[in-house]
Structure 1
Amino acid sequence: MDQAGPPRLSCDAGRVTGLYLTGVRPWGGELSDVEIRDGRIAAVTAAGGPAPEGVPLLAGEGRLLVPSFSDVHVHLDSTRLGLPWRPNDSPGGVWANMLHDRAHWRDGGPPMAERSTHMLGLLIAHGVTRVRGYAQVDADCELERLEAVVAAREAHAGRADVEIIAFPQAGLLREPGVPSLMEAALRAGAGVMGGIDPCGVDGDPVRHLDIVFDLADRYGVPVDVHLHEPGELGLFSLGLIIERTRALDLRGRVTISHAFTLAHTPPPRLDEVLAEMAELDISVATVAPPGRNTLPLTRLTEAGLRVGLGDDGQRDYWSPYGNADLLDRTWQLAFTNGFRNDHLVEHALAVGTWGGATVLDPSLPRLRGVDDRPGLAVGDPAELVLLDGEAPAAAVQDRLPHRTVVHAGRVVAHDLALV
């Protein structure tokens, strides 16, 4: 793959708090110059105007400017990217795959901290600067995998903002001591309390969710629940989550990951459930699954829900898929939803970039509809990525490597390599 070389900066952008982008096209619009000060967009003007003195210049070369990608569902401790190819022999199913991973994850070669750090670096190099990543906590690994993800976060502290979810992949009740381990994880670097399939994994949804929400409430952290459960079973678990969100007033602090039940629920029941979720500001994280589990993306957005996109596991002991490129996953989101028109493909890009940012920070203005293109206004965080493409929809289809990634107003990656 040809590399375009380092970004053309007039001085060392890594040592200042400002940056001036020349000749970029915000969301594919007119050529503009963008001034960044103190990690935020300070001005957007017509291209060719006078540049401020003492601020490094970055030549935009007419490329698209969009918000950087936000990966809101990625297993940073579940990857073989960068390692020799291993034929996939995962058995299928949540519990069987969990046991398969448990039998092999220590045999992956480099230490888990090294693998997680490499994985996070790849995400950043491809355009991600905001991450919500899982760290598995169970009776087998205890806090070992959490410690690896914490190390990865520290290694890339200047390149991305990373939230870590303490994730009970094997449930909270099937093995002794797991709730105490989860509490220890919240004291050791995790900032989000995780849960998984309260009925399907633990078989005791009330007790499972009581533990999840009690720890979240006591430690003042958000909740993120993996909910693969389909149909009526998933609706039952979702109802219990809604009940606890309301009782503890965790409005804006709860995310449902996968939420496959929303793909199986027809209207008008779906509209009722989405209205309840919107009332309590419960967000959704999807990994763009194919087939019957594809979420009705436009319905979620139009109902007022915050929706973000994630990469899930990346070429691990569960699945051979994944390349740490959320632009690829954005293509998958558009494809699985059957989007063909440009404005809908661009909506998938808005979800993969700004939509995920609102999942992580509910104070940010959410997507107002399928035609909303936020994130590039004066005052918005300078979390940005420059992409090649005639239009945003073309960038999603072509997924070209010439990218420049900006975090907190600093260039942190260029042409798929960390700076």
Structure 2
Amino acid sequence: MALKLTSRDIQEIVSKLSSDKDKAREVIKKIDFYWRVCSVSWREGVKLLNTWLETDRSIGFTRYLSDKTSVLKPKEVPHSETWPFLVKILMQCASSEISSSKKRLPKSIFAKTLRIIVKRAQDDGCSGKKNLLLHVAKSLFNHVWDVLKDVPSFQSEYGVILRYLLEVTYYRFHMRKRVYSSGKKPKHRKFWSEVFRFTLTLHSLIENPPGDIPDDLRDNIISGFVGIFSHVRDEGKISRKLVECINTYLLKDGPNLGGKSLEIHQAVNHFVFRYWFATHDRSLKDSLICYAKLQVSLTRGVDDGSILLELVDVMSKELDQMSTSSTNSPEGEKCGIMTSSQFKVAELVALVFCRVCANTYKSPVTEKCARREHVVVLIKESRGGQMAMACCTCLSHPQLFYSHP
């Protein structure tokens, strides 16, 4: 039978986690042994706390603290039997552990335990309560960001904590702008697994901004993407996630970018068109198609139609491949139903064709004063053959456009 959590159990955990930290800081330089004793006590407190976070004990623990926290008033100071108090004392323990470990790595158990506590506090499926960390959201954001910048060994766990917080709308409004505008470049080479976790955090930040993205941060974000893709050479889960980051940003802030979206494209287009046909990663290909659709949608009112002209050739080849695939498929597979990927390509083809037929762009000539031509003329002059052949192929295989599952 699972043990029932009592107020006395909570006080024992809190007592061990407290352990005269302030006094220990004052005498650390004089009595190193006293510091080590207190540090051991904090670890014992964390270990005791983890015994309540394991297996069936965690359910009772979560419900007890959630019930106590849910009755707090907005400006009431959280008491020792609430999630905000427990999070605050764990942040203090983590900070003390970091400051005491100048010549060694800080113990990861503090970061792991804080991550588990934040997750449990947000587990409304177990407790039925929401936004239970609101009282400590601002200080938690500040603590997490400071540690992410300065403590490499905690970055994995703290990156997860940051993503947990960003998922909750009410927490995001307590996040300072420095989360977006600050940050240090890694001082050491990272393993790919770490880089991927950083990319997940980046995606979460872009996907969950605290309201509209401020104007003064827009240039920093764009230059950040340009800098990142100047180093991306190969496909893989990291590059796929980075393309998803750009797609999310274009979706969130694209209408506010104007011609600045072209700055992103100038940095990304080499990767996009290099792997458009070369990749066998279906998710990456879908992300590239999504990227192209977003950029084409943003060309409205932009004077440079280079993105459209680049995509004309790509779409011609895509349609050729689709028609060839349909022609070579067994009769039993010619059921007139498009796959999800084919449908996405067809949507992009239609969008590109509508855009190029509705706009005029500078003709690619060498005169000092470039004359303006309708883009259809440009297609006829430079790319008309491929597009015409592709369109004829599509018309001769109408099953490509029947339906989408």
TM-score, with length taken from structure 2: 0.26
Identify the structure with the greater strand proportion. 1
TM-score, with length taken from structure 1: 0.25
Identify the structure with the greater helix proportion. 2
Larger RCO, structures 1/2 (Cα 8 Å, 6+ apart):
1
